Amino acid sequence: MFPANWTSIKVFFFLGFSHYPKVQVIIFAVCLLMYLITLLGNIFLISITILDSQLHTPMYLFLSNLSFLDIWYSSSALTPMLANFVSGRNTISFSGCATQMYLSLAMGSTECVLLPMMAYDRYVAICNPLRYPIIMNRRTCVQIAAGSWMTGCLTALVETMSVLPLSLCGNTIINHFTCEILAVLKLVCVDTSLVQLIMLVISALLLPMPMLLICISYAFILASILRISSVQGRSKAFSTCTAHLMVVVLFYGTALSMYLKPSTVDSQEIDKFMALVYAGLTPMLNPIIYSLRNKEVKVALKKLLIRNHFNTAFISILK
């Protein structure tokens, strides 16, 4: 192998799931289905939040941001893979690989910061409802959302820029279906200890700490739920919290197992399926669990359908 820098390499090749030829079509179908549901669910949530003034609340502001970044997150990871499967090329350009790496890191890091902020919002709403409008005012919510995006984009920039100057060993075959930073580092033929240290620090800040904050918030929320006198109301609230925590565990658990595992552990094949969970499955589940089960969204959808029905009827009368 000969050392080379990134700019001298024109094209990278993905191995993808070529080690599993018998199930490649099934994986493609599942990924396509997840991506379509992700797009439809998140676009629906953003649209209904914009159109219905009753949903102009802190909770739905955060959910709209989550939906927007989930669309980009899923698109950056799954769209090239789906396109490559259809074309049969399994290639990506240097600029495309760098962009894909940055977008995946940025969206993932932003979500890591945004999810505990959403859990805090629910904690204040349930455990301190009288002070909720004061604590979670519009200015504070916009600052929290903007801060989440800035943190995610800056940490992703640091990680991406720490990898790009490194010399590659001339090998252009990435053992993954996307330009995932850990898979790309396998191609580097110089010392990567500094990059790994940077990633370790960022991962420690963005994964276990936010997950701990979410667990603490939901512990207080569950304690409040247990004081609800209505058995039906308590059961519904408990079911909602359990669903939220399930998605959180899926997202953070798979990311933790990838980015904070010992460097001596080589699990690239497992990492591919882990990546499908946090880049494909959780963006699909988020709009379903966080919002499509909510009463407010169902009411807003019903109002929108009734309004459209009357508009159509009125136009037909005028004709």
Mean pLDDT of the chain: 84
Q: Please state the pTM of the whole predicted model.
A: 0.87
* Structure confidence at residue 265 (pLDDT): 61
Q: What is the mean pLDDT of residues 146-153?
A: 96
SS3 103: helix
**Cα–chain center distance at 144:** 17
CA dist 38 and 33 (Å) reads 8
Q: What is the mean pLDDT of residues 14-32?
A: 86
Instruction: Dump pLDDT digits (tens) for 109-124.
Output: 999 999 999 999 989 9
Write down the domain spans for the chain: 4-316
Which letter, b or e, does each residue of 130-149 get, where b requires 16 or more Cβ atoms within 10 Å of its Cβ?
Answer: eebeeebeeeebeebbeebb
Instruction: Dump pLDDT digits (tens) for 52-107.
Output: 888 888 888 998 999 999 999 999 989 888 888 888 788 888 888 899 999 999 99
Q: What is the mean pLDDT of residues 33-44?
A: 92
CATH class of the region 4-316: mainly alpha
CA dist 243 and 15 (Å) reads 34
